[in-house]
Structure 1
């Protein structure tokens, strides 16, 4: 059976990762969370004093990029691959609001994007991959067999992210989460290198009023149609 490349792009907290994981598991494909890779670089910058508040030593981060090794290891108990930074599992540590506040700034650096895009293209060169992020259908895999662009209102996305953080035990305020979502939207859409845009041939899904099951059923149906079309 043929294996396709599926690119899922969209704004932050649109449920890209959730549906991508579900789809990859159902199809038996490899799932790659590119957002986690940029979060890992952001986490490295934070841990090494390269970024804090308004201070960002971009030159130092670029110089230290060769020291940053990002990998994914499948966790059977969790049912998905977790991200590792230089051999250390940082899956939970990169999902904080603090990391979210820096990731768009780090992702705007061309040298960072070049390093990670090369790794992403290598991961998916043989097909059979579901990859989500901001520029998968436009830069990483412009010839992907299926391109999906996820969107939802900023308020809906902020509420989802807020609930996720609260359920995890983080002490956050909804207004701060909403501000973070809106700031990331602006930075992601206006950066010079690979801005977040909907690919011309991508199928847009607004999931503001969708349940997780409805979202998955829609995406799965699109994948099945695509597979039928190439067999």
Structure 2
């Protein structure tokens, strides 16, 4: 049976960690849709035209070790505003979402554009300062030299770009459960997400 869980939110809100944990808990397949845009962004940095890169994207491109760099993250945000890039990646995501056995997709427009009919939608958020601190500590842990003010400025810049783009702006779906992780540790956030999905699954069973 197909059951789709759409998990959206801004950068460093914790949606990736939550999505993987929720997928593991329910035994569902997981897709970090941001990797699609990172892969296109990386190919753009390598000199490939973004729309061409999106149309030629293959599953193997998502395992590139270089997709987590700050430069690729910024490039991903820039190619994500191109309607033709988003259209090229749409079918891939929708097919994954309706696979048998259930699927969890995380991104920025899963519940609003990619899978508006998803059985469960969660919008994960946190303050810009908290998200920048998480990202800053992640970068330091990876050996990247930066400073908190730079990361905070980049976080706010990306939020603005994602929220104001003409095609699929970042916003919660009308029926999404809002989960603010600003004051939650990973365990509490995961438990809240699982509880939200369980409540929706039980509601469907009762209906």
Answer whether TM exceeds 0.5 for this pair: yes
Distance 1:159 1:99 in 2: 19
Distance 2:52 2:32 in 1: 25
Distance 1:61 1:9 in 2: 23
Q: 2:172 aligns with which of 176, 195, 198?
A: 198
- Which blocks of at least 5 consecutive residues in structure 2 are unaligned? none
Distance 1:65 1:6 in 2: 24
Distance 2:34 2:54 in 1: 17
Shift of 1:65: 3.8
Q: Is the 8 A contact 1:100 1:180 kept in 2?
A: no
Shift of 1:45: 0.4
Shift of 1:69: 2.1
How do residues 18-57 of structure 1 correspond to structure 2 at under 5 angstroms?
18-48=17-47
Ranges of 4+ aligned residues in structure 1 off by more than 4 Å? none
Q: Is the 8 A contact 2:3 2:98 kept in 1?
A: no
Distance 1:64 1:43 in 2: 9
Q: Which residue of 1 aligns with 2:141?
A: 167
Distance 1:105 1:206 in 2: 26
Q: Which residue of 1 aligns with 2:84?
A: 111
Structure 2 length normalisation: TM-score?
0.93
Q: In 2 relative to 1, CA 204–166 (structure 1 residues): closer, same or farther, beyond 3 Å?
A: same
**Higher normalized strand content (fraction of residues):** 1
- Which blocks of at least 5 consecutive residues in structure 1 are unaligned? 51-59, 72-83
Q: Which residue of 2 aligns with 1:179?
A: 153
Shift of 1:214: 0.4
Deviations 1:100-146 (A, max 9, x none): 22221100000110111211001112350010000000001101111
Q: Secondary structure at the match of 1:216?
A: helix
Q: Is the 8 A contact 1:20 1:31 kept in 2?
A: yes
Q: CA RMSD in A?
A: 1.5
Q: Is the 8 A contact 1:35 1:133 kept in 2?
A: yes
- Report how many aligned residue pairs link the two structures: 204
Distance 2:53 2:133 in 1: 36
Q: Secondary structure at the match of 1:93?
A: helix
**Higher normalized helix content (fraction of residues):** 2
